[in-house]
Structure 1
Amino acid sequence: MDEKDWIMLQCLYEERNITKAAEKLYISQPAMTYRLKQLEKEFGAKIVARGKKGVEFTSQGEYIAKYARNMILQLRNTKEYVRNMDEEVRGILRIGASSNFSRYELPSILHKFVSKYPDVEIQLRTGWSFDIVHLLQKEEVHLGIVRGNYAWQEEKHLLREESLYIVSKNPINDLKELPSLPRINYGTDQTLKALIDHWWQETYDQSPTITMEVDRIDTCKELILTGMGYAILPGISLKQNDHLHKIELTTKDQKPLTRNTWLIYRERSLELSVVKVFIEFLKRCLTPFAL
């Protein structure tokens, strides 16, 4: 069993379909089926069972697939550490970042970083912050940039605090009227939703009048610009030229209601020069007191 077999088993485990896995790996279905049978002979155990909808891994197959994934991870980590043992900043940097941070902040940061360190290859994964934490736990990324507070036991650095705003096309003169005004909701992670919901429950004794539900903040902003309603948006999504009216949310004791953006990583990742340099670069870009 070698690296090609590890990759084949991991792909088949993810796809649960021999045809799809073979297409993804650019090999023929008969070749994959043949190699799978050879592995079953080698281990003396049935790895998969065929069904109408694809394949199911046996208990022995589950164990072998887990072994294959671990071996791929160990080999990749070994290659990365060997390439980074010198002082040159080069190699692969695997980043996980929240969707909104990736949309509004990350492109310019990565452009500046790659311009300074052209021998670095960036591999980026984006998604909800919860998913980014999960990727880091599985060691599929070197570091994560997440929004909201998550229980991460290793290294973490606060990159910024940002305010939340009531945003509308026209001024809202009396916030007591807010529950009766049309509100536009957008898809977001649970930490932001919980923060907004908690503020609302502390401020009002009636539910908001939600008239629209959209999947993206950008869509929400476009609807606000047409006067279709207001929304509660994080500061990261707002620019000076948006031509929107903003009211900063505050707590009961009149302090700004803020949301944190965190950089999280494992301490041993700092052994990779490319990771260490990027973390220092990111802190200089985003942390006021680091400048």
Structure 2
Amino acid sequence: MDERDFALLSTLQECNNISHAADRLSLTQSALSKRIKAIERELGCTLLIRTSKGVRFTPEGEVVLEHTARIRHELHDLRSYIDSTHDEVCGSLSAGFSVNYAALRLPKLLAEYHRSYPLVRLDVKTGRSLDLIKQLQTSQLDVAVVRGELPWDGKRYLLAEERVCVARSHELEQVPLGKLTYICHISDSSQSALMQRWLRENGLTDPKSTLNVADLHTCMRLVELGVGWALLPDIILEEFDGAVHPCTFANGEAFMRRMYICCHRETYELPQVNAMIDLIRKGYGA
């Protein structure tokens, strides 16, 4: 077995499907199946079985996954340590960014980082903040920009505070919110709890109608089209053409959503990680 086999098994675990895994690995299903059989012959055991719902790892397969994941992590740490001893900023860097940060700032950040540190091998992922924190916890990421109060015991820097606002089209500005459709977007549990608190304090827990969407951009666009109103952070409203009113809780506290940079204590001193953190903070004047 080699590192390609480690990646192959990890991809199979993530996809839970031979066809999807083959697509991600740029292999044919036949080639992937042959490689699995070769690994099984080498190890002398069956690693997985096919079911109507996809593939499932056998007990022996789960043990192999555990060991190969640990080996991949140790190899990554070894390469990162060796790379950090060079005079130039180089090496590998796995960075994750929340979808909203990615949509607004990521291309410019990556362009500037690549110009400044062309020798760094970048692996960039975007996604929901909760998913990024999980990837950070399992060492799939070195650094991540996330939104909300999520559990993390490594290094964490406050990047920005976003004011949550009521947003609606100008045409609906004078209509009571209770008579309009509430457009709700998916968020993490802590933010959802704050949204429910604000709705409860303002007597809006039983809206006329609701519309649930997956992301902030879709939510904002629907608001612009006059479909209803939404609670949105001001970071997404910079180019919003509509009425915006900052939210405050009953105790006078402003309704805020915070953005953080999170990284591992062990990798913080790596030049490529430190350079990325400095560049992100610079973008916010920190």
Question: Which of these two proteins has the greater Rg computed from alpha carbons?
Answer: 1
TM-based fold match above 0.5? yes
- TM-score interval (norm. to shorter): 0.7 to 0.9
Task: Label 1:93 to 1:199 Cα distance change in 2 as closer, same or farther (>3 A).
Answer: same
Give the aligned partner of residue 71 of structure 2.
Answer: 71
CA deviations 1:242-268 (Å, max 9, x no partner) are 331111101223232111101111111
Which residue is equivalent to 1:172?
173
What residue is the counterpart of 1:201 in the other structure?
200
User: Is there any run of 5+ residues in structure 2 with no aligned partner, and where?
Assistant: none
Which one-letter code corresponds to 2:206 in the other structure? Answer: S
Call closer, same or farther: CA 1:38–1:178 in 2, change over 3 Å: closer
Distance 1:245 1:182 in 2: 15
Question: What's 1:81 paired with?
Answer: 81
Number of equivalent positions: 285
Q: Match for residue 158 of structure 1?
A: 158
Report the residue type matching 1:138 in the other structure: T
CA 206–160 in structure 1, closer or farther in 2 if over 3 Å, else same: closer
Distance 1:17 1:226 in 2: 40
Deviations along 1:61-116, whole A, 9 cap, x unmatched? 21012212221222233223212222311233211111111112333222222232
1:276 to 274, 277, 280: 274
Change (3 A) 1:24 1:100: closer
How far apart in 2 are the matches of 1:231 and 1:205? Answer: 12
Q: CA separation in 1, counterparts of 2:183 and 2:4?
A: 50
Tell me by how many angstroms 1:153 deviates: 1.1
| Structure 1 residues 75 and 215, CA gap change in structure 2 (3 angstroms) | same
Give the % identical residues: 29
Q: Name stretches of at least 5 consecutive residues in structure 1 with no aligned partner.
A: none
SS at match of 2:144: strand
- What is the letter of the counterpart of residue 57 of structure 1? F
* Greater displacement, 217-226 / 93-102: 217-226
Cα gap change, 1:52 to 1:224, in 2 (>3 Å)? closer
Aligned Cα root-mean-square deviation (Å):
2.7
Q: Does 1:183 align with 2:182?
A: yes
TM-score between the two structures when normalised by the length of structure 2: 0.86
**1:8-19 pair list within 5 angstroms:** 8-18=8-18
Structure 1 pair 27–282 and aligned structure 2 pair: CA distance change class (3 A): closer
Cα deviation, residue 146, structure 1: 0.9
- For residues 25-44 of structure 1, the aligned pairs below 5 Å read 25=25, 33=33, 36-44=36-44
1:214 aligns with 2:213: yes
Residues 252, 77 of structure 1: alpha-carbon distance in 2 compared, 3 angstrom cutoff: same
